[in-house]
Structures are given as structure tokens and as C-alpha cells.
Amino acid sequence: MGANLVKFGRDTARDVRVVARGWRWGRRPQVPRSAEPYVIPKETSVFPTRWARTPAAIAVREVLLKGGLNAVMRFEVNPEVSGLDSLTKLHGPAVIVANHSSHLDTPLVLCTLPDAMRRKTAVAAAADYFFDTWWRATASAIMFNTFPIERRGGKLSQTPGDLLEDGWNVVVFPEGTRSPDGWMERFRMGAAYIAVEHGVPVIPVGIKGSFAAMPRGRGWPVPGRPTVAVRYGDPLYPAEGESPRDFAPRISAAVSALLDEEATTWWEARRRVASGTSPSQSGPDAARWRRVWESTTPVKPASSKPRAWK
């Protein structure tokens, strides 16, 4: 009797294994994935951010930025701002374009803008990074008024144009991601396309020292309250009939000139722009460690820089 039960159990287990090997568990396809026909993947839903631009959200963001983040940032770094007079030449919404090498760049731009302009400014953020989870998307939207934009698929979001038509300024980092070594990467044409398509000016911004203060991979600024320079330039307007492909290099050159001006003087930088000898901000053709070492040179405070006029 016992032997029969053992044999019955073994046979039953064998039959279950045979059935399991041929069973479509979880509706498993019967053909290899490489043999399946290509199907265009469905687009994922876009995280809504319109609520972040309501009066209540703007009021909360002002408290968080001016009362909290601005105080913490100025305690950890020493921001030196120049060129704010260029913003008085604006007469409507604009695309604010800056080089990007640190997570400090967004709060630096928002906290140094005039109050009235900051309240009407939104920031383009990578959908695959800041909007991959609901809590990160909600936090970035309420704190920085971000909206998602695709940076890998080559598709532009409709949100920047809608915001510009509603009178909002839009912050765009044309490099697409933070610089890995602190030097300026190639500018993509997204910001130029938005400006040309909607007929709005571009405000170039040069940020120097943010990589040294908080390089990629750090979650908090380095000790010592390093100086970070934020320099605003005059508005750039697309010329009549100018294409985004032609306008994008002008934007990149304007940001490069601001960085050169920060490293030297306004007069010397303007002379180099006029003669076409502005130094490249893409960094030296050297090993990665040398590029990082050179880009982490501390920014000199304004009091120790040479004067343009003597």
C-alpha cells in the first residue's frame, strides 16, 4: 500500500511538471520575442503640472524658495549676481538659457531672478529623471514649477509654447543634462526652436563655479561656502527668417561670452567677441581628471577681480 502511494505521488509530480512546461503561464507567448511583429509602444501619460501654476501653489513656492531654499543656499554657497539690468530690457515672456553642470543651477537662477519675474517662471525638467516617480514629480513641481520635457526621444513638449503664450518665462538647459566634468557641452536646438517658433527673446545666463560647489554625484554643496557666479546677458532676438539651426550657435556663443567675461573683464570679453577670438568653454583637450581639476578652480570673489577701467 505504501509503495503504491509513493509511486502515485511520483507519477503525479511528473505529470504536473510536463503540464507546467507546456502551460502558458501568465499568457506567455508561444513565439520568441524576436519573431513577434513590431508594435509601436503606447505613450505613457504625462504628469500634470498645471496645478503648480495656480495662485495657491505660487504662494507656497514663494515661501519655500525665499524663506527656505534661498536661506540654505546662501548659507552653503556665496552667489554673486551680475547683469540683472539686462532683464529690464524685456517686454514680455522669454526663454532663459543657461549652461548646466550642477543641481545648484536651477535654484541659483530662480533665487537670483527679480521677485515679479520669478513668480512667472517655469523650468523645463527631464521627464525620465524628475518625473519618474509621483513624489519626485510633485516635489519638483511645487518647489521649482517644473514641467516634463523629453530629452532622449527628440520630441518637444507642447508645454513650453503654451506657457510662453500665457505670459510665463521658461528656463531651459540646452545641454540636456549636467556636464560630467564642469565644462560646457554642445547645445541642442530645443531652446532655439522654441524661441523662433513663438517669436520670443532668449536671455543667456552664464553660471560659473556651481560644478566646483556641488559636482555631479554629490547631494550637498562642498564645505567652505564656495563662490558661485551667475551672470545675465542682454536679450537675444531671432532675426527675420532665421532658423533654429542658425540661432542655436548664437545662444551658445552668448553663454560662452558671459563665462569668459566672468573669468576676465567685460571689456576684454567684448573685444574677443568682436574679433572672434572668444575662448571655447568646452574645456581643454585633455584627460578627464585634468578637465575636472581645471573646472573646479575656485571662482574669485568680485572684490579680488581686476577692474575693467582704471
Domain residue spans of the chain: 50-299
17 Cα distance to chain centroid: 53
Instruction: Place 154 in a pLDDT band, splitting at 50, 70 and 90.
Output: very low
pLDDT score for 28: 55
202 Cβ contact partners less than 8 Å away, ≥ 6 residues apart = 94, 95, 96, 97, 191, 192, 195, 235, 236, 237, 251, 254
Q: Of residues 174 and 14, which shows the higher confidence score? A: 174
Burial 187-200 (b: 16+ CB within 10 A, else e): bbbbbbbbbbebeb
Place of cell 517658433: 197
pLDDT 10s digits, 223-265: 999 999 999 999 999 998 899 999 999 999 999 999 988 888 8
Whole-number Cα distances in Å, 187 to 105, 174, 224, 254, 301: 16, 5, 32, 12, 28
For domain 50-299, give its CATH number from 3.40.640.10, 3.40.50.970, 3.40.50.2000, 3.40.1130.10.
Answer: 3.40.1130.10
Distance CA 242, CA 182 (A): 31
3-state secondary structure of 232: strand
Q: What angle do CA 235, 241, 242 make, to 5 degrees?
A: 50
Q: Which three cell numbers stand for residue 208?
A: 560659473
β-sheet bridge partners, residue 133: none
The pLDDT of residue 188 is above 80: yes
Residues 6+ apart with CB under 8 A from 115: 66
> For position 180, what pLDDT does the model report?
85
